[in-house]
């Protein structure tokens, strides 16, 4: 082979190599990135009115399905079941204040409101649930007095964006559909005791995962769901 032919062959080989490299680079750039598990953000799963006789099963279901939630406990039930408050913490849940006896706080005096909130703070702390930083008024009913008393105890008032209606006999399917309406940062109201809510937990996990959402904690600063 002449020198000229050798040079021509080498040039062709180099050009082919460059073409392959360029093609590979283009393919690599065009390939879609694998979405992060929580790419669409975080939502707040909340369960009111515990701890109850259903709490252990609920905690097992949440843990088995990789979910964490905020448990808005009533003080009277926390006082009666301190071991279940500790179980909530052990299961990775966050414990919050939902008053002592679940009254209509807006109908009470400031002193009565103070008693409802302060006793619950103390009972939860004594049970090993830590000092709550979040407070949900019963029925979502609040006013300036309720807010000011809660703030005195360093509590951020948390209502909800979506009501699952599980307290009103909502079916498991309906509860799952309620969860499907959540978007980044939003919070859903559920309860500790309904059988349909317990049955919905595996599908809640599937629904969130399919939408790229994860169960997060609730920020005391913003009142919205964020990464744990």
The catalytic residue among 48, 49, 166, 192 is: 48
The catalytic residue among 49, 98, 166, 191 is: 191
161 noted as active-site residue: no
- Of the candidates 86, 104, 61, 64, the one whose C-alpha atom is nearest the C-alpha of residue 192 is 61
Kindly state the tokens that stand for 103.
Answer: 């009254």
Q: Which residues 6+ apart lie within 8 Å of 31 measured at CB?
A: none
Residue 132 CB neighbour total at 10 angstroms: 25
Peptide bond between residue 78 and the one before it cis (omega within 30 degrees of 0): no
Kindly state the tokens that stand for 153.
Answer: 């105890």
Kindly state the tokens that stand for 82.
Answer: 């301190």
Kindly state the tokens that stand for 6.
Answer: 């050798």
Q: How does DSSP assign 172-211, residue by residue?
A: HHHHHHHHTT--TT-EEEEESS-HHHHHHHHHHHHHHHHT
HSE toward the beta carbon, residue 42, CA cutoff 13 A: 16
Q: Which residues 6+ apart lie within 8 Å of 198 measured at CB?
A: 54, 57, 58, 61
48 noted as active-site residue: yes
- Residues identified as active-site: 48, 191
């Amino acid at each position: 082979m002449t020198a000229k032919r050798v040079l021509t062959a080498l040039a062709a080989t180099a050009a082919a190599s460059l073409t392959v490299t360029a093609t590979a680079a283009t393919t690599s750039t065009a390939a879609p990135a694998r979405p992060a598990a929580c790419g669409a953000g975080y939502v707040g799963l909340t369960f009111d009115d515990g701890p109850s006789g259903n709490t252990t099963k609920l905690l097992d279901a949440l843990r088995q399905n990789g979910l964490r939630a905020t448990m808005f406990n009533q003080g009277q039930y926390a006082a009666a079941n301190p071991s279940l408050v500790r179980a909530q913490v052990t299961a990775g849940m966050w414990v919050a204040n939902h008053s002592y006896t679940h009254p209509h706080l807006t109908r009470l005096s400031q002193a009565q409101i103070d008693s409802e909130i302060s006793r619950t703070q103390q009972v939860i702390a004594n049970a090993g649930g830590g000092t709550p930083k979040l407070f949900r008024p019963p029925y979502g009913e609040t006013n300036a007095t309720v807010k000011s008393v809660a703030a005195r105890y360093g509590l951020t008032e948390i209502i909800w964006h979506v009501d699952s209606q599980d307290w009103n006999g909502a079916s498991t399917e309906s509860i799952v559909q309620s969860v499907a309406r959540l978007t980044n940062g939003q919070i859903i109201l559920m309860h500790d005791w309904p059988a349909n809510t317990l049955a919905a937990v595996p599908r809640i996990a599937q629904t969130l995962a399919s939408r790229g959402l994860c169960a997060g904690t609730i920020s005391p600063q913003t009142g919205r769901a964020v990464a744990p």
